[in-house]
A and B are shown apart, each in its own frame.
Chain A
Amino acid sequence: MSTRVYDCLKLIAEKIIENKDFLTDLDREIGDADHGVNMARGFQAVIEKVDPEDADIGNALKKTGMTLLSTVGGASGPLYGTAYMEAAKVFAGKTEVSGDDFKAAMEAAIAGIQKRGHAEKGEKTMLDALMPATDVLSEKLAGGASLADALTDACVAANEGIEFTKTIAATKGRASYLGDRSIGHQDPGATSLTMTLETIRDFLKA
């Protein structure tokens, strides 16, 4: 019998693995065509290394982060790895997810990604999905929405964030070498990040 946090992480992993080719194709347009392959390898390792029976959400997220650090290989490794490890600190010793904790974990993930990648909003990165999603989540929770409902609206904002990345040029990572030629393409990192949030949304609603 596996824990809820493990089940959710496994669904995220399956979603990423299922979209390996799609994410890699997006990255082929503006990057080095490895985002899907790298993320799929990392999340395959997550399924294998996270303890399915440990209900401590902090432990599960920390193990996820450490695993991504050592198995993704590209820049997504330290970026996603740091995001999960920062989120893990919020959930240390906890077995349930509250709206406030989820929001705090998203904020901690943003801070971790910014520390690692030195990126701001509007640079065609995963932050362009995660930051507006967190703003909307926070607003909806403050208005009394449940976590599942707030996350549903946050996913809409994350998808708008993906659309926004099509309109701007990259200034970080490999895509920045392309300058304005990166305009018109959606960011692979913003896409995988949105898939993650959508999977958690579906898990909470199920």
Chain B
Amino acid sequence: MVGLVLVSHSPKIAEGLTDLTSEIAAAHKGIVAAGGLEDGTIGTDAIRISEAIRQANDGDGVVVLADLGSGVMSSETAIELLEDEDIKVKLADAPLVEGTIAAAVSAMVGSDLEAVLKAAEDCRGVKKIP
């Protein structure tokens, strides 16, 4: 199953979103939160994110979803740090909450990496009030 790594400056956002996603896509066991710095400070940590990617990967690859600013830059850095390892990993250009839910549901039904990435990215521009 394609794994997911949830990156936020806030540990609470990343963990809360993991909880929420576990409710909605209960069969997905490969969702790893990578929020904040190691000591819980607000921020993003590329090393922590790269470890989360390793942890989320069961061989089918990992989609990373990030909040904003350094969330994106640290995620890109984390992916580069894993260049020499055999992990298929993609950073989604998607809103964090909606993208995560869509990606989790897609992964749960057995979609491959590209399809999970697309499910997340299809959430860009989705209207909440029709």
Q: Which residues of A are at the interface with B, using a C-beta cutoff of 8 A?
A: 38, 41, 66, 69-79, 81-82, 116-117, 173-174
Contacts and interface: CB of A to CB of B under 8 A. Distances in A.
A78 B69 CA distance: 11
B43 A69 contact: no
B45 interface: yes
Contacts, number: 57
B111 interface: no
A6 B47 CA distance: 22
Interface stretch (B73-81, B83-91, B94-102): B73-81
A77 B37 CA distance: 11
Interface in B43-80: 43-48, 69-70, 73-74, 76-77
Given A77-B44, A78-B46, A69 B77 contact: yes
B69 A77 contact: no
A32 to B, nearest CB: 9
A117 B72 CA distance: 10
Contacts of A77: 43-46, 70, 73-74
Interface string B22-60: 000000000000000110011111111000000000000
Contact of A73 (B44, B47, B76, B77): B44
Contacts of B41: 41, 73
B73 A79 contact: yes
Contact of B70 (A41, A66, A70, A74): A74
Question: B42, B46, B47, B69: which has the most chain A beta carbons within 10 Å?
Answer: B46
A38 B74 CA distance: 14
A38 B47 CA distance: 16
Nearest to A76: B70
Contacts of B69: 74-75, 173-174
A109 to B, nearest CB: 14
Interface residues of B, number: 17
Contact of A116 (B43, B45, B48, B76): B76
Question: A38, A41, A75: which has the most chain B beta carbons within 10 Å?
Answer: A75
Nearest to B43: A73
A77 B49 CA distance: 13
Contacts of A72: 43
A117 B70 CA distance: 10
B38 A73 contact: no
Contacts of A116: 73, 76-77
Contacts of B70: 73-78
A166 B29 CA distance: 50
A72 B37 CA distance: 9
A78 B76 contact: yes
Given A77-B70, A78-B70, A173-B69, A71 B45 contact: yes
A70 B38 contact: yes
Contacts of A117: 73
A66 B42 contact: no
Given A74-B70, A78-B70, A66 B47 contact: yes
